[in-house]
Amino acid sequence: MALINCDFFSDALEVGTSMTVILPQSTEAQIGVTAARRRTDFPVLYLLHGLSDDHTAWLRYTSIERYAAAAGLAVVMPAVHRSFYADEAHGHRYWSFVAEELPEIVASFFKISTEPAETFVAGLSMGGYGALKLGLSHPERFGAVASLSGAVDVRQLATRSERADLFQRVFDGTISDSDDLFELLEAAEPGSVPPLYISCGTEEERLMPPNRRLAELAAARGIDVRTDFRPGVHEWGLWDAVIPHVIDWLPLPNRT
């Protein structure tokens, strides 16, 4: 695998930003690493970080590079700070950056597939929310969407006093229907929604109930949804255990 720490300028953010990128590399002499299949347009997973993380977190706290190598999967991990993947009311346009600008930049920099069937998005906590928002807002762009311990009910989270300043800055204190995953799911055409993978630790008292409700709503609407509710709390040991299952679940082309 090739590991790239990429600093670049974003017109949407009007500032320099960063992403970490993992690219498959076919090797013969590397010991202990499963070689990727030889191709030049690898399928890509956009892997989103949580509220207190950055673009390096998945690489630092999980074995995502090893999992991606075995699958022949490129992984793009952008930095979005504490934005909730939104066009912040009092800040930067992170939704425009992730949803519109980032895929164009990635496609121009790297030899990855741009086919929707080979493009996937996943994330943890705030990133799980971002992944589902991308998948439900632009279902035609993704072959599958996964959320790990997702902060899926932002209207509920906005009522918590310890997050009041954050939600005031990002959403101006009001969650619109276009930012509410339950509203997006209700409005979506079931046949157009890509398969969903919804995971959460069963010991996460605040996040488990809304994740279960979201999965049940998706299933009731006839959407293909895989649930992975297992013992665990909001920590990297859980996410490192779940992400290889997510990668195994992805409908990767020519999987051997």
Q: Where are the beta strands (DSSP E) in 125-195?
A: 144-148
* DSSP one-letter string for 209-236: HHHHHHHHHHHHTT--EEEEEES--SSH
Q: Comparing 25 with 202, which gets the higher pLDDT?
A: 202
Q: Check whether 173 has a pLDDT greater than 90.
A: no
Tell me the per-residue pLDDT of 85-105, one tens digit each, with 9 for 90 and over.
Answer: 999 999 999 999 999 999 999
| H or E element, residue 16 | strand 15-23
- What predicted TM-score, i.e. pTM, was given to this entire model? 0.95
Helices 236-249 + 64-71 axis angle, to 10: 10
Half-sphere exposure at residue 14, Cβ-oriented, CA atoms within 13 angstroms = 4
Tell me the per-residue pLDDT of 102-127, one tens digit each, with 9 for 90 and over.
Answer: 999 999 999 999 999 999 999 999 99
Lowest mean pLDDT across 62-66, 159-163, 183-187? 159-163
Residue 75 pairs with which residues in a beta bridge? Answer: 22, 45
Structure tokens at 245: 């299952």
Q: Residue 152's closest CA among 97, 98, 100, 213?
A: 213
Structure tokens at 210: 């809304």
pLDDT band with cut points at 50, 70 and 90 for residue 31: low
- What pLDDT is recorded for position 256? 44
Q: Which fold has domain 2-249?
A: Rossmann fold (3.40.50)
- What pLDDT is recorded for position 247? 98
